[in-house]
Amino acid sequence: MSYVSIITKGIKLLAKEKAVFRIKPEITMPVKASSLKNPFIQKIDANALKSIDMQGELGNIAIRQADNLKSKKKYAKKLADEIFGDISGVKASSVRTKDANSIYSKYEKNIKDGKTVSTEADAHAFITDAVGMRFQMKDLTIDDAMQAVKKARKFNQEKLTTSEQRLVRRLFRNDTTLTASEIEKAEELAKPVKMYLAEQQTNPVFNRMLLCNIKSALERKVTTIEKLKQNGFDDEFLKHLNDPEIKPLQLTRICNYKGLDGIPYYSDAQMMKIE
């Protein structure tokens, strides 16, 4: 159902109802049709949110924010292509903006948790993942895996012994002669190897994101080059801040999902750099 049809329906029913509802599967979002385009002027806290009229006002804000984000999607995709388009390890990239239903749900949760909204800007501040970028990396090869076995370190920071490397390689090659106990041991030894692989696969995008975030932080004066060096960033890395593809990009959230084997996309070392 489009916004237009909702507004029309809402105007017809206004004499009987203060709000109409925009519905998606399993989601109902209130919309106050009579004031959809009017600025928000009322305070909403958890108590006020019990009113369907106030829920409608909040729904209106969600629609306005969603529409505003949609207008920025084309620019966001252009920016993503400028920053990450030359990275050979990226198979595909996409940009999405948060929709009105998701925005409303985030508003509602924050208010029920004790937050108060007095302006539209207050509500907008709840949405930290308004524009999201997603990257699909090229598939790893068996050669990549074999190289990682040599370089990866166990959780105690020791390298795998020669016999351990041989066992993990057999696992990666799907050796059908492995016994159940050998498979169990190999799976355990393979975890740090897979983590190393994941880090190497995501590093090109991660480092680009990190540099763009640092550039944004420097422009916003929330850090300095001196502080960055004190926190372990060396001159060799920081010199890339002057590369033409490094644009100021403020990261507000990274979704560090895990694969089916429990290995996260970004390693602890990578996440510590962002923090």
Q: Note the pLDDT of residue 259.
A: 82
Q: Note the pLDDT of residue 246.
A: 96
Q: Note the pLDDT of residue 21.
A: 52
Coil, helix or strand at residue 211: helix
CA–CA gap between residue 139 and residue 114 (Å, rounded)? 45
Answer whether 125's CB lies under 8 Å from 110's CB. Answer: no
CA–CA gap between residue 210 and residue 109 (Å, rounded)? 30
Q: Note the pLDDT of residue 26.
A: 52
CA–CA gap between residue 237 and residue 89 (Å, rounded)? 19
Q: Note the pLDDT of residue 8.
A: 35
Q: Note the pLDDT of residue 14.
A: 38
User: What is the Cα 2 distance to its own chain's centre?
Assistant: 27
Instruction: Indicate the pTM of the whole model.
Output: 0.72
Tens digit of pLDDT per residue, the chain (275 long)? Answer: 333 333 333 333 333 444 555 545 455 678 887 778 888 778 999 999 998 888 888 999 999 999 999 999 999 999 889 999 999 989 988 999 999 989 999 999 999 999 999 999 999 999 988 888 888 888 889 999 999 999 998 888 899 999 999 999 999 999 999 999 999 999 999 999 999 999 999 999 999 999 999 999 999 999 999 999 998 999 999 999 999 999 998 887 777 888 878 889 888 889 888 88
